[in-house]
């Protein structure tokens, strides 16, 4: 149990389902108060009621589309007025579409970067000044192993997650002397509804289903790292070993793993 987060306020984007919902529940189990953010207000309301009833912690919720930068400013300003401050921000909202560059649309490109990158940065900017002033806080960015290993049919998604990792690593250095922790989470495929959009044909899920991560386990690992100086969370270990080899010997790695890369 992570006693560090008891009584803390944890804000989670993309909290209405998937890994965001799992993180919220795990935080509540460990005594944290929740601020749930997502587009689907009806799902947030149900989850908020469940968390309050089951775990006896406060649970606020706000409808937020992270593609709308003006809305981000408005919602986080309201949160500051209602609650006071956020101790931990989990930038979880994101989506991907598996397709080649040739068959991807510019709208898909724009939407992925607006959600995965711009929304993440804008949300971070809203909580960071107070965290730095209080000398307490943690920003956790949900990136992906796709941000470390480029593969065919995920070029746009991979590019957005490379951007998230670049931002996260730079931000960590910028706030180093302000006692604010910055962590990137780089998971492989997780058993969530992410793939209803990313993999509409279901081919990728069929090929990797046996290796997909348990979302409850991933959520526990993330929550147990809150308010620690952990730099990265890389799951599963064998995939992260592959990403390390890819950084050192990309040509050899692409040659050895080439066929596996096309299983989307």
Question: Which residues belong to the active site?
Answer: 157
Determine the Cα–Cα distance for residues 209 and 217; give it in Å rounded to an integer. Answer: 16
CB 150 within 8 A of CB 158: yes
CB 183 within 8 A of CB 141: yes
């Amino acid at each position: 149990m992570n006693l560090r987060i008891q009584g803390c306020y944890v804000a989670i984007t993309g909290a209405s389902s998937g890994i965001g919902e799992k993180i919220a529940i795990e935080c509540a189990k460990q005594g944290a108060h929740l601020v749930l953010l997502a587009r689907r207000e009806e799902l947030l309301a149900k989850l908020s009621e469940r968390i309050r009833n089951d775990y006896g912690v406060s649970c606020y919720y706000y409808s937020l589309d992270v593609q709308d930068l003006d809305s981000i400013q408005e919602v986080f300003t309201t949160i500051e007025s209602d609650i006071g401050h956020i101790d931990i921000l989990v930038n979880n909202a994101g989506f991907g579409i598996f397709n080649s560059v040739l068959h991807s649309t510019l709208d898909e490109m724009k939407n992925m970067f607006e959600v995965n990158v711009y929304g993440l940065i804008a949300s971070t900017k809203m909580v960071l000044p107070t965290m730095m002033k209080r000398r307490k806080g943690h920003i956790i960015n949900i990136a992906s192993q796709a941000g470390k290993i480029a593969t065919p049919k995920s070029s746009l998604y991979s590019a957005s997650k490379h951007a998230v990792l670049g931002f996260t690593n730079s931000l960590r250095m910028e706030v180093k002397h302000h006692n604010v922790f910055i962590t990137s989470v780089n998971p492989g495929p997780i058993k969530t509804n992410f793939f209803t959009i990313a993999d509409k044909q279901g081919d990728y899920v069929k090929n990797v289903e046996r290796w997909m991560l348990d979302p409850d386990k991933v959520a526990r690992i993330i929550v147990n790292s809150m308010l620690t100086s952990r730099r990265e969370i890389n799951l599963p270990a064998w995939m992260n070993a592959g990403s390390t080899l890819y950084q050192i010997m990309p040509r050899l790695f692409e040659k050895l793993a080439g066929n596996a890369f096309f299983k989307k």
